[in-house]
Amino acid sequence: MRALYWLVVVLAGLVLALFAASNRGAVSLGLWPLPFLVDVPLYLIVLGAVLLGFLLGELTAWIAAGRWRREARRRGRRIATLERELSATQTRAISPQPGSPLPR
């Protein structure tokens, strides 16, 4: 499985390198309210847009999973409380109570 992961990573890196080498032409980039233009290589614009889309998608997924993370924290606290109660009950069951007859 690890070899497959590295194979995909190497192939993706190779494709990105070939894309960058093939699209080095300058493109004028202007943002509407601003009065100036910037000449930027085409591959930077495309890769920047892909990176921005990836980051926005990850942020959206992280926000959407907030409910599940909150539930996992709540359950973890509940499990810890129950384990402490169980440990205390087991300790009391093992040690004899004062004034009670000892089991034979």
- Confirm whether 23 is domain-assigned: yes
Residues 16 and 47: beta-carbon distance below 8 Å:
yes
Q: What is the pTM of this model?
A: 0.64
- Residue 32 pLDDT: 87
- Residue 80 pLDDT: 98
- Confirm whether 22 is domain-assigned: yes
The total of structural domains in the chain comes to: 1
- Confirm whether 86 is domain-assigned: no
- Confirm whether 43 is domain-assigned: yes
DSSP 66-97: HHHHHHHHHHHHHHHHHHHHHHHHHHHHHSPP
Residues 43 and 19: beta-carbon distance below 8 Å:
yes
Q: Which range of residues forms the domain containing residue 46?
A: 16-29+36-51
- Confirm whether 20 is domain-assigned: yes
pLDDT in tens, 67-103: 999 999 999 999 999 999 999 999 998 876 666 665 5
- Confirm whether 40 is domain-assigned: yes
- Confirm whether 42 is domain-assigned: yes
